[in-house]
Amino acid sequence: MKYISTRGQAPSLSFEEVVLTGLASDGGLYVPETLPQFSHEEIASWAGLSYQELAFKVMSPFVAGEIPDADLRRLIDDAYAGFRHEAIAPLVQTGHNEWILELFQGPTLAFKDFALQFLGHLLDYILKKRDQKVVVMGATSGDTGSAAIEGCRRCENIDIFILHPHNRVSNVQRRQMTTVLEGNVHNIALDGNFDDCQNMVKASFADQSFLPQGRQLVAVNSINWARIMAQIVYYFYASLALGGPARPVSFSVPTGNFGDIFAGYLASRMGLPIDQLVIATNSNDILHRAISSNDHSKHELQHTLSPSMDIMVSSNFERMLFDLYDRDGAAIAALMEEFKSGAMHLSEGALTRARELFASHKVDDARMLEVIRDVFEKTEYLLDPHTAIGVEAARATRRNRDLPMVCLATAHPAKFPEAVRQAGQETDPQLPHHMADLFQREERYEVLPNDTETVHKFMREHLAC
């Protein structure tokens, strides 16, 4: 299995190489050259497998023998050992054929744990084998940061630097990151928004000369292929639990950087029957505008009650465009160049294909709060604000009520007490036992200006491993 860049100019990489990288040298993102294909019979034969066994089936073709099967199985087992629910990704029914896939049962209470627990173990394994030390650099709007830190905090060969937008993540999210005091964990609160953090990370990958000799950057954001790969698994898992592949299942996905829904798209390309894939956005609706009216233009980023989705430039949309443009790297390079001016326009062909593949819907804060209230009143199930956006988008776009519609519950409501309170809940949802003293723990982080030189200097001075 080889991995190629969406812009067509960078060298192709092996699995281990792609895990140890971020952006391709031509600025593109890596994708597999070909996708594994599973027949309905093969998928059906996986019914009843544990999450870990299924993860091995889905992911091993991407690893393509570079890691011995027994080691890969162990990495997968270790990754999901800390989840609080035996099913790893339990389904909860909230209405007729309406399901919630709880992806927040991992250590940091968000779907990011699925990929980042695995990536942490995978990096540790590869780096020890190679006797190599690396610098992990990531941007977060709140959830990737803590999941990445949790995944990497015990890795001896990693220094991890996470940039979050200062004062724009919830207090729980910030404390989940900043109360981890291991010497190799470094939190930077950037004076800017998430797009500023992500831009700085991408610029740093493009020019790594600020690092001491012999060190390289590794990505934990979904620009890293391994993130997407691990997220494909739960689409198969949910479908199998609901009668797939004999009947198609639909998914509604709260969307920001387009990583999670891109994983769903890949699952369908690999053979999983999916009826609808719904892109659910908050008021930062560039993806909804792109699909509904071919308006992929940057607006000013709004600060919403679903902060993890406060993203304007969705990294993984480039991977999607690569397929929509028949894998023409030059066309993608030209489109991304056009986007630097603030907007890009999809060709008629690409737009038509995108509309065949995705429905989309935008949900503002007021409507999202109504949905939390409504679902709680009817079912006593408390949604987090991101998941509520997915539920509303599912209801607004659903075309076949005879098929299951699964909304991905991307975070636990306890991470967002402010939104939950505004939705009318009198008591804050409880943090799980292992986080009960979160607000008593000591915090450590550095507030830095949105200036690349300053951040690079900080990084150089704080390398610990």
Residue ranges that bind ligand PLP, judged by CB under 6 A:
110, 142-143, 222, 254-260, 308-309, 386, 410-411
The helix or strand, by DSSP H or E, that contains position 125, with its residue range, turns out to be helix 112-130
DSSP run (H or E) holding 229: helix 225-241
Residue 25 half-sphere exposure toward CB, CA atoms < 13 A: 7
Which residues lie closer than 8 Å to 7 by C-beta, 6 or more apart? Answer: 24, 26, 27, 28, 329, 330, 332, 333, 336
Residues listed for the chain: 465
389 binds, among ligand LJ64HWYM, ligand PLP, none (CB under 5 to 8 A by kind): none
For helices 317-324 and 348-357, the axis angle rounded to 10 degrees is 110
Partner in contact with 140, chosen from ligand LJ64HWYM, ligand PLP, none, beta carbon below 5 to 8 Å by kind:
ligand LJ64HWYM
The CB-of-304 to ligand PLP minimum distance in angstroms stands at 12
Q: Choose the catalytic residue: 57, 112, 202, 362.
A: 112
If the CB atoms of residues 126 and 312 are measured against ligand PLP, the closer one turns out to be 312
Alpha-carbon gap, residue 163 to 182, rounded angstroms: 17
- Whether residue 112 lies in the annotated active site: yes
Omega before 417 within 30 of 0, i.e. cis: no
CB of 228 to ligand PLP, least distance (A): 9
The distance of closest approach from Cβ of residue 372 to ligand PLP in the complex, given in angstroms and rounded to an integer, is 14
User: Angle at Cα 433 formed by Cα 164 and Cα 173, nearest 5°?
Assistant: 10
In single-letter form, the type of residue at position 13 comes to L
Q: How far is the CB of 287 from ligand LJ64HWYM (least distance, A)?
A: 13
| Contact string 299-338 vs ligand LJ64HWYM (x = CB under 6 A) | ---------x------x-----------------------
Query: Choosing among ligand LJ64HWYM, ligand PLP, none, which partner's interface includes residue 193 (Cβ < 5 to 8 Å by kind)?
Result: none
10: left (phi > 0), else alpha (psi -120 to 50), else beta?
beta
Show the binding pattern over residues 138-157: x = contacts ligand LJ64HWYM (CB under 6 A), - = does not: --xxxxxx------------
CB within 8 Å of 444: residues ≥ 6 apart: 178, 179, 181, 187
Q: Which is nearer to ligand LJ64HWYM, 141 or 250 (CB)?
A: 141
In contact, 150 and 117? CB cutoff 8 Å? yes
Determine if 284 is a binding residue for ligand LJ64HWYM (CB under 6 A): no
Q: Which is nearer to ligand LJ64HWYM, 194 or 237 (CB)?
A: 194
* Binding site partner of 411, from ligand LJ64HWYM, ligand PLP, none, Cβ cut-off 5-8 A by kind: ligand PLP
Which amino acids are annotated catalytic? Answer: 112
Residues in contact with ligand LJ64HWYM by CB under 6 A are 140-145, 221-222, 256-257, 259, 308, 315
